[in-house]
Structure 1
Amino acid sequence: MNTIIDNVDQRIGARIRAEREGRGWSLTSLAEKSGVSRAMVHKVERGESSPTASLLAKLAGAFGMSMSALLALAELEDGRLLRRAEQPLWVDPQSGYVRRHVSPKSASPLNLVEIDLPPSTEIPMPASAYLHSQQLIWVLDGELVFIEGGERHQLGAGDCLELGPPSDCVFKNESSRACKYAVVLVRSA
């Protein structure tokens, strides 16, 4: 995993601060809109805390974007080719979830992300993370349980699920081996 950028927390924090300031929001305003404490937002913006996937999803949702879009803005430079060795990795410090941004940053409304979800891991995502996009989950290896609102989807290798209307979701690996899946995200115009 030599492509993990040493200053990824600073880059994510700077992007969150830029999004907040670009909207003319105070720290308090972002905290209220996202449900993340003001103190935690401040720590993340300064790069003093490595945010979890759930926290990033809440902040991104407050900005009206997906976690993938927020991270792409922090991680990627413009271009049509993104070689594997240059694809940014981000590791959730709480769960060990590994996110690889596969698609290049371009004018395309498509984002492609590969996720490695460790065994016995659960990642909740708020509905706000899905408001302005259409998403597909494609299981590449292992088993994934995806809970969408009150509906439970059991997915195996090769299965692909289109997400329904935005609702709180949970990605779960209930098995004893890692699960690898891709998230294909199409941003709304």
Structure 2
Amino acid sequence: MEIETDQIDTAIAERLKALRGRRSLTLDELSNRSGVSRAMISRIERGEASPTAQLLSRLCAALDVTLSTFFASERDEKGPLARRAEQPIWRDPETGYERRAVSPPQTASRIDLVEVELPADARVTYPPETGKAGMSQHVWLFSGVLEMTVANVTYRLAPGDCLYMSISEGHVFHNTGDAAAHYAVVLDRGRN
């Protein structure tokens, strides 16, 4: 379900504002927790700015939600099936990174499945999420090449390779190839 940029910006704005309100956080408090400026958070909440993958990751960490949880609307029907045509897709405005939330929303599973396409020469950096101790992920590359840097160690993945890492460690996804890298992220949220 590819959503137009204006629609996704509106959905992100509404979701960010709702999650911040649910946690009774002011703009200043969320800014302090995330390291994202108050002005930028305000612009995102008004639908005037499209957050990058890195910025959205920092906001999600500060709100104690995964990206999959962030994109799962509370209106999404709980159930065991997520049809491909209904899976939300988000595109990072900075890198072109495209993220499809594959897992059925609103289930009790601690696993989130995400399909990703990272354009040639794109790089996405995620800071350490120390509040996410116990969370881990597997990155399984289907096509292309991918360099993963985890805790200052770089791994070069070829199709079929799978890399395991803790979310609490900073990591970098870098497509060093000439074509898009297509991969799955299997995120384990740890204990529910």
- TM-score of the two chains, using structure 2 as the length reference: 0.91
Asked whether the equivalents of residues 150 and 169 of structure 2 are also in contact (C-alpha less than 8 Å), the reply is: yes
Pair 1:74–1:97, CA change in 2 (3 A): farther
Asked if the contact 2:71/2:88 (under 8 Å) is kept, the reply is no
CA distance in 2, matches of 1:161, 1:54: 20
Q: 1:181 to 1:76 in 2, by over 3 A?
A: farther
- 2:59 is the alignment partner of 1:59: yes
Which residue number corresponds to residue 98 of structure 1? 98
Once superposed, which parts of structure 1, at least 4 consecutive aligned residues long, lie more than 6 Å away? none
The sequence identity of aligned pairs, in percent, is 41
State whether residues 129 and 167 of structure 2, in contact with CA within 8 Å, keep that contact through their aligned partners in structure 1: no
For 1:29, give the aligned amino acid.
E
Secondary structure at the residue paired with 1:79? coil
Instruction: Describe the SS at the equivalent of 1:127.
Output: coil
Q: Pairwise mapping of residues 1-189 of structure 1 onto structure 2 (< 5 A)?
A: 3-6=1-4, 7-73=7-73, 76-105=76-105, 106-128=107-129, 131=132, 133-164=135-166, 166-188=168-190, 189=192
Q: Displacement, 1:124?
A: 0.5
Alpha-carbon separation, structure 1, partners of 2:56 and 2:161: 26
The one-character-per-residue Cα deviations of 1:126-170 (angstroms, maximum 9, x if unpaired) are 112881522111101111111112111111111111103612211
How far residue 86 of structure 1 moved from its aligned partner, in angstroms, is 1.0
Q: Deviations over 1:48-80 (max 9, x none)?
A: 211110010000111122223222347844222
After superposition, the C-alpha distances for 1:18-39 in whole angstroms (9 at most, x for unaligned) are 1111111100110111011101
Amino acid at match of 2:17: R
Q: How far apart, CA to CA, are the structure 2 residues paired with 1:13 and 1:77?
A: 21
What root-mean-square deviation, in Å, do the aligned CA atoms of Structure 1 and Structure 2 show? 1.8
Q: Is the 8 A contact 2:137 2:167 kept in 1?
A: no
How many residues of Structure 1 are paired with residues of Structure 2 in the alignment?
A: 187
SS at match of 2:81: coil
Are 1:15 and 1:74, in contact at CA under 8 Å, matched by a contact in 2?
Answer: no
SS in 2 for 1:48: coil
> Residues 75 and 54 of structure 1: is their aligned pair in 2 closer, same or farther, counting only changes over 3 Å?
farther
For structure 2, list consecutive stretches of 5 or more residues without a partner in the other structure.
none
Please give the alpha-carbon distance, in whole angstroms, between the structure 2 residues aligned to 1:4 and 1:129.
32
Distance, in Å, in 2 between the alignment partners of 1:58 and 1:159 is 27
> In the TM superposition, what is the alpha-carbon distance from 1:5 to its structure 2 partner?
2.0
Is 1:62–1:128's contact at 8 Å kept on the other side of the alignment? no
Find the aligned partners of 1:76 and 1:68 in 2 and give their Cα distance.
12
AA in 2 matched with 1:131: K
The TM-score, its normalising length taken from structure 1, stands at: 0.92
Alignment CA distance shift 1:165-1:4 (3 Å):
closer
> Within 1, Cα distance between the matches of 2:69 and 2:178?
30
